[in-house]
Each structure stands twice: as structure tokens, then as C-alpha cells.
Amino acid sequence: MTRAPDLLVFSLRKLAGAMPLIVGVTLISFLLTVYFGPDPTHALLGKNPTAAEVAQLSAELGRDRSAPAQYLDYLRRLLTLDLGHSMVTGEPVRAMLARTIPVSLLLLLPGFVLGTILALVMAAVAAWYRGGWVDRMISGVSVVGMSLSFVVILIGLQAVFGVWLGWFPVRGWNVTTLPQYLHHVAVPTLAFIVASLGYNTRFFRAVLVAELNSDQVRNARAFGAGPVRLMLVHVIGNSLLPILTRTLFSVPLLVLSGSLLIESHFGIPGVGKITFDAVMSGDQPVLMAVVGLSAVLFVITVTVTDLLCRLVDPRLRQE
Amino acid sequence: MSTVAGRRVLAQLIRRPLGLLSLGVFAAYALIAVGVWLGWWGSAWFELAGPMWAPPSPEHWLGTNRLGQDILMRAVASTATAFEIAVPVALLSTLIGALAGGAAGYFSHGWLDEFLLWLMGTLDAIPFYLLVVALAFALQGHAWTMHLAMIAVFWTTTARLVRAETQRIRELPYIDAARVSGLAPAQIIGRHILPNTMAILLVQGTLVFIAAIKVEVVLSFLGIGTQDSISWGLMIAEGAQEILIGQYWNFIAASLFLFVLVMAFNLLADQLQDVLDPRSLDARAHRHA
């Protein structure tokens, strides 16, 4: 068995196959944030610059070169993590990311993990009693959850737990100890769970019901497997591929889309907040880095998902 | 789909309690929106109609906001805004998805297909709100920014589904017959393939409609959505601040208007799916928060 090199070859081939995607994604982020984005030259120079000053800064920013040259330069800077400085605060973008990404992860991870587990449990219960009143109730709750806007959930929970009950802070991120962390993370976590539960439960339920109707499950049942063993080993075990794919694919989306909303609303200094601020103030280097890196993160996620699927499902290993 | 088939779908929908309910709710909202466009009601949403922070009363059913504007009237006017965004976005992204999916499926594994697949993969690879925000950044101040951003993202799911369906239909004998009789690919796709993907298009259209309304709320809430008008998202953004000082009506009114419409459309999409294709898997295996 030459498993390790085999895996290495596989992941390298996957990454090579993802090249067009990386090119596409970085091209779009380049076009949006650099090429078509507002020209920062005048914003940086202040009032009444001379033509020479404009030309000099243009050259410094690289805006006087051809689009392909600018794009290649953009790629090179992304790959070498040479991300420049924020135009607003002057802070190195790399330092900003290093400061904010952990905050976003801490903020979103509990909701993501708990939400996924809870959705799986609800889906398993609904699938087990499919067609019955329990299933219909869970389906009803899911549709209601899907119909609630994330913004409404956020504000509603903030109103209930922050303003009425006063249990949790209404905004900010003043975290140095574990109790403080739990205190601050509670409302965002709850909001995240409520927002994702409906969609996830529905998806998982459909997957589990399809598996429950399969021959192998009927077989296992005939051999006397109890409900818990049947559900955990035979149904969820065999549905790991779609479950894993969906869960992992939502990670990049979650990190940015989720944190953008939660952080800008609660005033939490995560990566979503600096992205939002960068949009509002036209801070090109920050935006450029976030869009480009998140796209690269997505490609990496796709590759990792493929790898994990191969580990989970022996059939995928014999090509 | 012919009008006969369309009428059959409608008849089946109406026979189901949830189908009838969701269609009824949709009709009511559509009426509200049309009424706003025709100036029957809601057109004075910006007028200072009474004292500030008035509680609900016979004159102002849901009270007034911090400027003394009628909250119900603002929520009603926002219905029109929601339709102005959701209808063009749903129609255009479904149309683009159908054409792209049909072309990709018909010429599958050709260069056009490869290109479209690459484009879809690329668009799907950028986190949704980030792409919208980046588009808003690039097109700053443009009136159609929000529409464009949503269409740019929403057509891909429809295109993928239509592509798969087209690949299946393409192998059927009647398509061979059409080809032999000398029809051009565009005619075959337009006249003989896409009409048979109408089930997908209808369900996707409703799903995009929901997504567009929800995304407008988020973007307006963030301050990069609806400008110079009123929308549920803007009301909710106001409400978010007002809740801190104990004023809830703005938030409640906008949230309820939004929730009921989205809920009705979610139910409608489910019912449509059941009527059109009882076997189909859940098409909502998708992402919009």
C-alpha cells in the first residue's frame, strides 16, 4: 500500500484541476476591486494635486500599467501575501487579517458546529418518523426558519436577550476571559443556529430519507439493528458524502457572509467588519485581499472536501 | 409549457390548501404593490403625518416613527419596492439561467459548455455577500447595482439544473427528428428543449424571488441597498436603532410584512415542486442566508 504518496498525487492533481477556478476567481476579484473599482489616486492626494503628483502616485499604485500587467501583479501579491497597507488606517493588511480572522472564527465556530449537529439530529428524527406528525412539525419549523431574514433574527434576538432580559451585551467584543467570551458569543451563536437550522434540516432530512429507503438499511433492520445503531451507522454513516460536502462547502460562505452581517451589526472587530468598513470607505487594499483570499480559501475547501470524501468512501479511491 | 398545461398547474395548486393559501397571500401582496404604483395608497410614505413616536391608533394603525411618518404606509410602500427588485431579478436570472443552461447542455463538453461551467464555478466560488458587496463597490451609486449583483449570482443554479435536464432531453428521439428536419440548434433549444424545462424554471423563479427579497433587506440594512426610497430593509435598519430606546413598531411592521411574503413564497415553491414533479429532490440545497 502506497497510501500517502497516493493521496499526495491525488491532492496535487486536484489542485492542478482547480487552476482555472483560481484564475477565474482572482480575475473577477481583480476586475471588481482594482480595475473597475473607484480610482483611489485622487482620494489619496487630497485637494488640488498637480499633474506630476497624480502621475507619480498612479505609478506607485501601478494604475498606469496595462490591465494584464496589473492582474499578474495582483496575483503575485496574493500568492506572496504581499498585501500592502490599508489606505484608511495605514495598518499592514496582513496584520489586520491576523488580528481579525481569529475573532471571526471564535465568533462563528460555536454556531456553526452546534447548528450542524442540531440540524442533523432534527433531520434524523424527522426522517425516522417520516410522514408522521413529528416530521410535519419539524418541516413546519424548518420552513418558518427559512422564511425569517437573518437580519430580523439578529435584531429580534438582540432585542429579547440584550434589551428586554439584559442577559447578554448588546454590542461590542470585550473578550479576554472564557466567561466574557461565552457572554459575547451567545446571541450571535443563537442567531446563526436559527438562521441555518431550517435550510440544513431540510437538506439533511432529504438525504437521510433517501438512505432510509435503501436496501442496505432494510437489510440491517432485518438483522436486528436498533433505531440508534441503524440511524448512526447505517443511515448517517452512508450519507456522510453529501453531509460532509454541504457542511464543508458552507465554511467559506459562512466565514464571510455570516461575519459580515453579525460583525457590522454588533460592532465586533472581525474580518467581516473590516471588509464592510473597507467597502464603505473605499479601502481598496483590504477589499482586494479579502476577496482574493476568500476565493482561494474556497478552492482549498473544495480540494479538502474531495480528499475527505475519498477517505470516507472507499469506492472513490479506486478510480 | 402551453397555456393549457399552465392552467392545469394552477388548478392543481388551488386544490391544495397550502397552495391556495400561498397564492392568495401572493395575490394580496401583488395587489398592494400595484396599488402603490397606481397611487391608490402608500405614495405619501415620506409625509410627516402625525406626532413622532405615536402609538397605534385609528389614524395610524401601526403608529408613527421618529419623524412622525406613518409606519403602516411605509411598510405598504416598501411592498412595491420589494416587487420592483424581486420581479426583474427573478425574471432575468431565470431567463439567463435557461439560455445559458440550454446552450451548455445542448453543446455539452464543447468549448461553450466548458466556458459556462468555468464561469458558474467561478461565480459560485466567491462568498455571496462578498461578491455583492464588491459589485456594489465597483458600481458605486449606480441605480441597478443591487439588481445586477443579484442576477450575476442567482442565474448559476438555474443554469446548472437546466443544463442537466437539457443533456437528458437532447438524447430523446424527438430532438433527433427536429435536427433531421433541419432546425438550427437555437430553434431546437428555444422551441423544443426549454419549454420542457418549465417545471425547473418555475420553481427556480419562485426561489430566486424569495432570495432577492431577502437579499435586498440585508443590503439595505447594511446601507448599500435601496437608496432614495423606502424598503423593509431600511425600516428594519431604523428599527434596529430604535429598539434600544424601546420603540418596536418599525421593526415589527417591516419584519411581519417581509416574513409573511417570504413564507408564502416558500410554501408556494414547495407546492409547485410537488405539483410539477413529485419525485424531485429538494432544489433548495442552496446557500442564501
Distance CA A204, CA A198 (A): 10
Lowest mean per-residue pLDDT among A124-138, A263-277, B4-18, B250-264: B4-18
What's the half-sphere exposure (Cβ side, CA atoms, 13 Å) at B139?
A: 15
Banded model confidence at residue B219, pLDDT cuts 50, 70, 90: confident
- The tens digit of pLDDT for each residue in B151-192 reads 988 999 999 999 999 999 998 999 889 989 988 888 899 888
Residue B262 has pLDDT above 70, yes or no: yes
What is the arithmetic mean of pLDDT over A103-114?
Answer: 90
Distance CA B5, CA B92 (A): 23
Do A138 and A120 form a contact (C-beta atoms < 8 A)? no
Query: Hey, are the CB atoms on B127 and A298 less than 8 Å from each other?
Result: yes
Q: What does residue A171 show for φ and ψ, rounded to 5 degrees?
A: -155, 175
Distance CA B210, CA B205 (A): 9
Q: How big is the A-B interface in CB pairs under 8 Å? A: 156
**Per-residue pLDDT at B103:** 94
- The tens digit of pLDDT for each residue in B73-110 reads 888 888 999 999 999 999 999 999 999 999 999 998 88
B141, three cell numbers? 451609486
At residue A225, the 3 state secondary structure works out as coil
Do A191 and A203 form a contact (C-beta atoms < 8 A)? no
What is the arithmetic mean of pLDDT over A126-138?
Answer: 89
Q: For position B106, which CATH number holds?
A: 1.10.3720.10
- The count of domains in chain B is 1
B89, three cell numbers? 431579478
B205, three cell numbers? 423563479
Mean pLDDT of chain A: 82
- The closest CB to that of B224, out of A29, A252, A279, belongs to A279
Can you name the residues that pair with A85 across neighbouring β-strands?
A: A92
What is the arithmetic mean of pLDDT over B130-149?
Answer: 76
Residue B12 has pLDDT above 50, yes or no: yes
Distance CA B45, CA B42 (A): 6
- The tens digit of pLDDT for each residue in A282-319 reads 788 888 888 778 877 877 887 888 888 888 777 776 65
Find where cell 424601546 sits: B246
B286 touches A: beta carbon within 8 Å: yes
Distance CA A310, CA A6 (A): 11
Q: What ipTM was estimated for this complex? A: 0.81
**Per-residue pLDDT at A242:** 84
How many other β-carbons are positioned within 10 Å of the β-carbon of residue B243?
22
Banded model confidence at residue A253, pLDDT cuts 50, 70, 90: low
Q: Which residues of B touch A302 (CB under 8 A)?
A: 125
- The closest CB to that of A143, out of B118, B224, B263, belongs to B263
Q: Give start and end residues of each alpha helix (H) in A162-270.
A: 178-212, 215-222, 227-229, 240-253, 259-266
Angle subtended by helix axes B71-106 and B145-170, to nearest 10: 40
Rg of chain A in Å (alpha carbons): 24
Q: Which residues contact A314 (CB under 8 A, 6 or more apart)?
A: none
Do A310 and A239 form a contact (C-beta atoms < 8 A)? no
Query: Hey, are the CB atoms on A149 and B130 less than 8 Å from each other?
Result: no
Distance CA B122, CA B24 (A): 39
A206, three cell numbers? 432529504
Mutate which of A19, A21, A149, A248 to test chain B, going by most B C-beta atoms within 10 A? Answer: A149
A89 touches B: beta carbon within 8 Å: no
Distance CA A110, CA A116 (A): 10
Residue B282 has pLDDT above 50, yes or no: no
Q: Which positions 164-223 of B are in contact with A (Cβ < 8 Å)?
A: 214, 217-218, 221-223
Find where cell 497597507 sits: A85
Q: Which among B79, B45, B72, B44 has a CA at the least distance from the CA of B56?
A: B72
Distance CA B89, CA A256 (A): 23
Å between B118 CA and nearest CA of chain A: 7
A24 touches B: beta carbon within 8 Å: yes
Query: Hey, are the CB atoms on B289 and A206 less than 8 Å from each other?
Result: no
Q: Cα B103 to chain center, whole Å?
A: 23
Q: Give start and end residues of each alpha helix (H) in A41-164.
A: 41-45, 51-61, 67-79, 93-128, 133-147, 150-157
B251 touches A: beta carbon within 8 Å: yes
Domain range for residue B106? 3-288
Q: Which residues contact A237 (CB under 8 A, 6 or more apart)?
A: none
